[in-house]
Structure 1
Amino acid sequence: MLPVLLALLVVAPPPDTSWPHQDLRERMVQQQIAARGLTDPAVRGALRSVPRHRFVPEVSPELAYADRPLPIGHDQTISQPYIVARMTALVRPDSADRILEVGTGSGYQAAVLASIVDSVYTIEIIPDLAASATERLRRLGYHNVVVRNGNGFDGWPARAPFDAIVVTAAPDAIPPPLLDQLAEGGRMVVPVGPAGGPQDLTLVTNDDGKLTRRTLAPVRFVPFLRPEP
């Protein structure tokens, strides 16, 4: 059985206003987010406040805020800022929401979500990444995030249902347990497709118990990992 790592919580920390990081984030939001038509003020505010450079400390701050994904070890990546912002906006986060994230990685997407919503439950299958994300989020003050090392295919039944689900790795097909854990009125955003093959960013909504899927754009994500037999 995989170990469980928890970080217990309350509210998002104040934004990092140190120079030059604040300027780098503002430039990132203006050039990569706003320029591409993403207008949600809460999402823009979250991208302005979360210190992305702290989630990829092995690269320079300029590269941390660049318009590109970056490696975080274990053949995993942190998505480019625009993809993080778009996926966040697609689930229409609200201050009262409880959100499930599958694929914690470095913890950056969880921190962005946590800056907007009530609570984030995030699952990471790679123990080292789960441990480092737990410590990083704790150190940065994201006390409304709970990190678990486990199998994201099964979701988190004990905390379900979720107002939104964000999946940051690409399964061949959407795991049925995640569909079951989406609350009435809930939204899920997930890249779907084979590793190295065509993948589609997909939005799932639950309206009156009816699940509707909409394909939005071609994307390229790391594959959705499952435990070895």
Structure 2
Amino acid sequence: MNTSYTSLAKNLVNKTTQDFLGQVAFQHANSTYLDLVGAPAVPSAPVVTDVTPTFGEPGATVTINGTGFSKDSMVDFGHFACPTRNIDSDSRITAKVPNGTGVVHVRVTNTLGTSPAVAMGQFAYGGPAPVVVSAVSPTSGKVGTLVTISGSGFANGATVHFKDKASDSVKFVSTGQITATAPGQLDDHQTVNITVTVGKATSPTSPADEFTYTGR
């Protein structure tokens, strides 16, 4: 039996509300409790990590990646069920996009539950692709650090904000990658969210877009 009774989600350690709430959810999850007492793991509900492509028309083929998929898994695009889907494996589903409008979350349901809505699991009918930040590298550095931002829906002319400060050096690389230098902050020892804005669309914040300042 594990007698340390300590378990930590190592990707949720910054001093932000989002990381705190994520840490609470992790530490109170059934799988965490079972691991602490040395009990065998139980099957988990499905999780969607991303969909490809992230925009298109009804009838298009979309690949859904994730974990916990099973032969009885059903797929929903927002409120609309997907009548045609193929369970390729426990981590991949190929589906035909049902009728719908707007930007929706793609979710998978089986007897163990329904996958939570995630930013990279969005699909936009008719496009453009949803603007999402899925990762930043490095995740910490000084003012002026060049940060590579990964995600989707990026375009020429995009603006990048570190909290409420705009970066004055942004370079568009591709629809899935952009680089920006970290601007100065009043407090140069804090963790901030990096957001990307394309037109009127701004990426939602999450622990995946956090950058920690380490000074000047």
What TM-score does the superposition give when structure 2 sets the normalisation length? 0.26
What TM-score does the superposition give when structure 1 sets the normalisation length? 0.25
Radius of gyration: which is bigger?
2
User: Which has the larger share of helix?
Assistant: 1
User: Which has the larger share of strand?
Assistant: 2
